[in-house]
Structure 1
Amino acid sequence: MTSSDTARLHADTLADHLKTHLPHRRLDALKRLSEVLLAVLQAESTLHRKIALHLPRDASLESKTRTVARVFHDAQLTPQDVCDVLLPLIPDGKLTLIMDRTTWHYGQTPLNILVLGALLGGAVIPLVWSVLPHQGNSCTAARILLVARLLKVLPARRWGVVIADREFVGREWCAFLRWKRIRQCIRIRENTRIEDELVRDLFTTLQPGQVRTLFERTWVYGGWMHVVITLSPVGTG
């Protein structure tokens, strides 16, 4: 059996699974959707042309790219559909959850999207998301609501850790995660105060690539946390 045959078999299996959760959808459409979903995992990208490279079809790259675009356009999956379909496929055990915010465009209209997804292999699978009614950073309430939605179908005992960038900080937000007993790994801002010192003052002698750990837990954003300080190769903290 060739790799393309194996990919088609996996797509057929996934399509049958999707049909049980989305009985109103046509099976041929679900097979196309399954092929594209599996190709996304292989490509680790949302670029249509990169995804098309992994479609198990005997067709030109241009033809496969049009198929990917059509599937994305016609999928019409709600966040609830995604949870219903994907959660049973996620392996048992604790998961690494990642929160991020991204801007996509619907025609000329920018969409500011807050996303919470699970890390599987080298790809993050979005499980819940919300379109923010404004541009710029998310607010604490929006983050809490997104986590609360996922907790309804994925209990906190399955959450190994939530990873987020320095946009996602704040006393109330961190307190909420602690209340739900969700571990957090969050990039703090350089103007954060730790024991009356600014974080940026703690790495003035740090070289790019070096890592410094504060051996005792430190009071940050209303709770005790382990703090690790490092500089990227380009010198950002």
Structure 2
Amino acid sequence: MELLALLVLALIGAKDVRHAALAERCPGNAQTASIIRQIERFFHQHPLCPLDVARLVLALLPDVKRREFSLDRTNWKLGKTDVNALVLAVHWRGVAVPLLFELLPHSGNSGTCTRLALLDEVLTLLDCCDVATIYADREFIGQAWIQGLAERGLPITVRLRVDTRIEGLPAGEWLGDLQPGKKAILLDGLEVYGLPMNVVLTWTDQGEPLIVASNATAASRILKGYRKRWKIECLFRALKTKGFRLENTHMTLPGHVTRLLCLLTLAYVWSVLVGTLQETALKTHGRRAWSVVTLGLRSLVRAFSRQVGASVDELLHLIRLWMPHHTMGAETVGY
């Protein structure tokens, strides 16, 4: 447990997942080579469990409303080896936070069975009635997948391909009825993959078809909700190039990468909890000048780089955020 805590702190301080970078941030008088061997043993055999981490995430990020989720993949290469992770993120105060993930033994898209198995794990942590919707891109389509979600009582808001059939006709043909000057076609209760779904059809600013179906919300509100799917892309950037440099890892074994993702989840959640307490200027479009995660990371790094004697109260406050009751009662604050 002590090494687990030290590695979370090291991740935040180093903003790098490489063993040598983590070892440099671990306190003590041991030689760097010795610390690296401890880190290697941690990733090889520590019993860190994704479900336990997910249970902690939900406890630390309480929500009085039904929860929204996003599902997507992130991948990178080490030499010729593909590392491909299917990630389910939970939305909290405008941020997507990693909840559960599955390492895929191949490159490319995930399969229906893998996705449904991941969601079955989620349903051991919460009830289907606690799920408002799952946002997903065009990879996550197909009748077996959509029907599998319906059987589990899980609603979805998903972008469709132009060849997806709506009431028996390709979606692209419905777009042909979009009149000049009209922003979108709104359709309620049409059959998509054998289920009644609401659909919005429009064009992006780049001239690309945008077709989104949902059995969670009315057609008129689908696009506003679907825009939240972008939060998981922000999450991946924060885990990778803009934050912890996940793709720098030399580990490719599923068990090792799984433990690394668990560590990153803990570091990310702490950054979010701290970041939501920080104030920042707003840009002209009303968004924060700095993301919640960036603000949290900066605050944590600054706090732990000072002399402990001069900032002990601040440090204790940051540590107490790991106690779930410290985030209870503030769920309705808007961010």
What range is the shorter-chain TM-score in?
Answer: 0.5 to 0.7
Confirm or deny: 8 A CA contact 1:164 1:185 kept in the other structure. yes
Residues 179, 133 of structure 1: CA spacing in aligned structure 2 closer, same or farther, 3 A cutoff? same
Provide the alpha-carbon RMSD of the alignment: 2.6
The aligned residue for residue 149 of structure 1 is 121
Confirm or deny: 8 A CA contact 2:165 2:193 kept in the other structure. no
Q: Which has the higher helix share?
A: 2
Q: How far, CA to CA, are the matches of 2:109 and 2:204 in structure 1?
A: 23
Residues 26, 166 of structure 1: CA spacing in aligned structure 2 closer, same or farther, 3 A cutoff? closer
The residue type paired with residue 16 of structure 2 is: A
How far 1:163 moved relative to its partner? 0.7
The percentage of counterpart residues that share the same residue type is: 31
The aligned residue for residue 18 of structure 1 is none
Alignment of 1:1-237 (within 5 A): 23-25=1-3, 27-32=5-10, 36=12, 67-70=14-17, 78-92=49-63, 93-106=65-78, 109-204=81-176, 206=178, 210-214=183-187, 216-237=188-209
Confirm or deny: 8 A CA contact 2:100 2:118 kept in the other structure. yes
Residues 196, 28 of structure 1: CA spacing in aligned structure 2 closer, same or farther, 3 A cutoff? closer
Q: How far, CA to CA, are the matches of 2:96 and 2:18 in structure 1?
A: 19
- Structure 2: stretches of 5+ with no match in the other structure: 23-38, 210-335
1:98-132 CA distance string (max 9 Å, x none)? 11012123465221111111012333111111111
After superposing the two structures, state which structure 1 stretch, 100-109 or 131-140, moved more: 100-109
Q: How far, CA to CA, are the matches of 1:105 and 1:89 in structure 2?
A: 32
Residues 107, 227 of structure 1: CA spacing in aligned structure 2 closer, same or farther, 3 A cutoff? same
Residues 69, 107 of structure 1: CA spacing in aligned structure 2 closer, same or farther, 3 A cutoff? farther
Q: How far, CA to CA, are the matches of 2:52 and 2:18 in structure 1?
A: 15
Residues 68, 81 of structure 1: CA spacing in aligned structure 2 closer, same or farther, 3 A cutoff? farther
SS in 2 for 1:182: coil
How far 1:27 moved relative to its partner? 4.7
Confirm or deny: 8 A CA contact 2:134 2:157 kept in the other structure. yes
SS in 2 for 1:226: strand
The residue type paired with residue 60 of structure 2 is: L
Q: How far, CA to CA, are the matches of 1:186 and 1:28 in structure 2?
A: 40
Q: How far, CA to CA, are the matches of 1:157 and 1:71 in structure 2?
A: 40
TM-score, normalising length from structure 1?
0.68
- The structure showing larger relative contact order (alpha-carbon pairs under 8 Å, at least 6 residues apart) is 2
- Structure 1: stretches of 5+ with no match in the other structure: 1-22, 37-63
How far 1:155 moved relative to its partner? 2.0
Q: How far, CA to CA, are the matches of 1:103 and 1:91 in structure 2?
A: 29
1:161-184 CA distance string (max 9 Å, x none)? 011011111111111211221111
Confirm or deny: 8 A CA contact 1:162 1:184 kept in the other structure. yes
Residues 29, 228 of structure 1: CA spacing in aligned structure 2 closer, same or farther, 3 A cutoff? same
Confirm or deny: 8 A CA contact 1:218 1:226 kept in the other structure. yes
After superposing the two structures, state which structure 1 stretch, 103-112 or 74-83, moved more: 74-83
Q: How far, CA to CA, are the matches of 2:95 and 2:110 in structure 1?
A: 23
Q: How far, CA to CA, are the matches of 2:75 and 2:10 in structure 1?
A: 26
Residues 196, 157 of structure 1: CA spacing in aligned structure 2 closer, same or farther, 3 A cutoff? closer
TM-score, normalising length from structure 2?
0.49
